[in-house]
């Protein structure tokens, strides 16, 4: 038996290490990308106990409107508020027979969110909404308005010029309104006057609250914390993870926990909005093999009357002859499609698109598949 061999040249020997290095680099990149594709930070899917925003609300007046404010003869609370404000400023008109006729003032409700760790002197955004019969708040100025929380204490004071990002135009026979002119926004329009104390440095027991409760996700977060920080995490329920910070400095530990990467698990769910025809399908949705035929009966009736005119110099009369066209589509072209057992979301979407139906027909199909038991997911119809 004879063996033939070819001695590799120098150029070939140079290529082997280069190709191996490129192959190894590509393989590591793919593995790294696949491993981190679905990873998210803990602080993006969970909240720390006690770290929250607080809602604020207040009642005030917007002035400087161009005749688009409340009608003081119709909205009594606007008139009384305006009179009380003028009395506090030294203008006494309550005891005089004066009929206020201005249309440049509007009573409004002012709302804002006070973020956690806000300090006195900081600024927050506010939203202003009309409460009377004002038609447009564009160009108005909000007067000093205290903002209170649920405990009745004042935490901020708002004032400033409104921006509505809306416009309205009206003519003799038509009108147009863009966005909501009775709802405005003031960027940095409120000054924080009182702080909500949150003491995290001395906390030795704390809880993480998942925004989407799930046992699997909670277990993965607890395991990641225990592997990185130490045995301090324990799953209490699908939403809550208890942290024992007795032997650790709270702030560095919480900072490290928030940056941990985990892979959240999601429920298999299909959400449909019947009003808008919107369909959202989760990645873990599975479907068993089913056969589907979709056909609709459509009847279109069109009236095109014909006007018959008499001949010249005749005694005839003009008559209208009706003409009706009826078109019936009973869906005879609809075919029976098969949705096979799909292992991924792309197969389910491709199968539904292959039927050639619109979003609203897809909603009916999904409901029928769920009733048949072939949809292995929760179907939520809104």
Using the predicted structure, report yes or no on whether residue 159 has a pLDDT greater than 80: yes
Using the predicted structure, report yes or no on whether residue 85 has a pLDDT greater than 50: yes
The residues spanned by each domain of the chain are 54-167+176-192, 205-262, 269-305+323-381
The pair of three-digit structure tokens given for residue 17, joined into one six-digit string:
């290490």
Q: What is the pLDDT of residues 36-76, one digit of tens each?
A: 447 899 999 999 888 889 999 999 999 999 889 999 888 88
- Residue-level pLDDT at 52: 87
Using the predicted structure, report yes or no on whether residue 195 has a pLDDT greater than 70: yes
Question: For residue 87, what pLDDT band results from cuts at 50, 70 and 90?
Answer: confident
In whole angstroms, what is the distance from residue 148 CA to residue 156 CA? 7
- Residue-level pLDDT at 282: 77
Comparison of pLDDT for 222 and 15, the residue scoring more? 222
What's the rounded mean pLDDT across residues 370-376? Answer: 80
Mean pLDDT is lowest, of 16-25, 96-105, 286-295, 356-365, for 16-25
- Residue-level pLDDT at 302: 61
Mean pLDDT for all residues in the chain = 79
Using the predicted structure, report yes or no on whether residue 29 has a pLDDT greater than 60: no
Choose among 154, 161, 215, 208: nearest CA to 184: 161
- Residue-level pLDDT at 2: 39
Q: What is the pLDDT of residues 201-232, one digit of tens each?
A: 788 888 999 998 999 999 999 999 999 988 99
Mean pLDDT is lowest, of 10-24, 57-71, 83-97, 259-273, for 10-24
What's the rounded mean pLDDT across residues 86-108? Answer: 81
Mean pLDDT is lowest, of 20-34, 167-181, 240-254, 324-338, for 20-34
What's the rounded mean pLDDT across residues 305-320? Answer: 72
- Residue-level pLDDT at 331: 55
């Amino acid at each position: 038996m004879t063996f033939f061999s070819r001695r590799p040249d120098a150029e070939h020997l140079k290529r082997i290490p280069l190709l191996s290095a490129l192959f190894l680099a590509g393989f590591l990149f793919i593995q790294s990308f696949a491993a981190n594709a679905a990873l998210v930070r803990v602080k993006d899917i969970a909240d720390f106990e006690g770290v929250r925003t607080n809602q604020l609300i207040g009642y005030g007046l917007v002035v400087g409107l161009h005749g688009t404010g409340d009608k003081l003869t119709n909205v009594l609370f606007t008139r009384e508020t305006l009179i009380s404000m003028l009395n506090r400023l030294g203008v006494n008109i309550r005891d005089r027979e004066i009929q206020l006729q201005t249309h440049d003032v509007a009573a409004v409700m002012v709302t804002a969110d006070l973020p956690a760790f806000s300090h006195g002197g900081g600024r927050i955004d506010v939203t202003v909404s009309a409460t009377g019969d004002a038609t447009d708040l564009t160009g108005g100025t909000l007067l000093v308005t205290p903002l209170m929380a649920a405990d009745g204490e004042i935490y901020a004071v708002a004032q400033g010029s409104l921006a509505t990002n809306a416009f309205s135009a009206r003519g003799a026979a038509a009108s147009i309104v863009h966005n909501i002119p009775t709802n405005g926004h003031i960027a940095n329009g409120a000054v924080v006057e009182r702080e909500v104390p949150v003491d995290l440095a001395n906390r030795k027991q704390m809880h993480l609250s998942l925004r989407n409760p799930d046992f699997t996700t909670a277990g993965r977060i607890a395991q990641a914390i225990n592997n990185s920080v130490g045995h301090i995490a324990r799953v209490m329920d699908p939403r809550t993870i208890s942290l024992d910070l007795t032997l650790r400095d709270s702030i560095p530990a919480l900072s490290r926990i928030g940056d941990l990467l985990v892979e959240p698990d999601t429920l298999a769910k299909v959400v449909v909005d019947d009003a808008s025809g919107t369909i959202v399908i989760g990645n873990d949705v599975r479907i068993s093999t089913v056969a589907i035929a979709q056909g609709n009966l459509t009847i279109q009736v069109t009236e095109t009357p014909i006007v018959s005119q008499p001949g010249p110099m005749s005694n005839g009369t003009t008559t209208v002859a009706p003409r009706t066209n009826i078109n019936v589509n009973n869906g005879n072209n609809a075919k029976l499609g098969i949705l096979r057992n799909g292992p991924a979301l792309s197969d389910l979407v491709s199968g539904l698109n292959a039927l050639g139906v619109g979003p609203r027909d897809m909603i009916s199909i999904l409901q029928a598949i769920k009733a048949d038991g072939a949809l292995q997911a929760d179907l939520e119809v809104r």
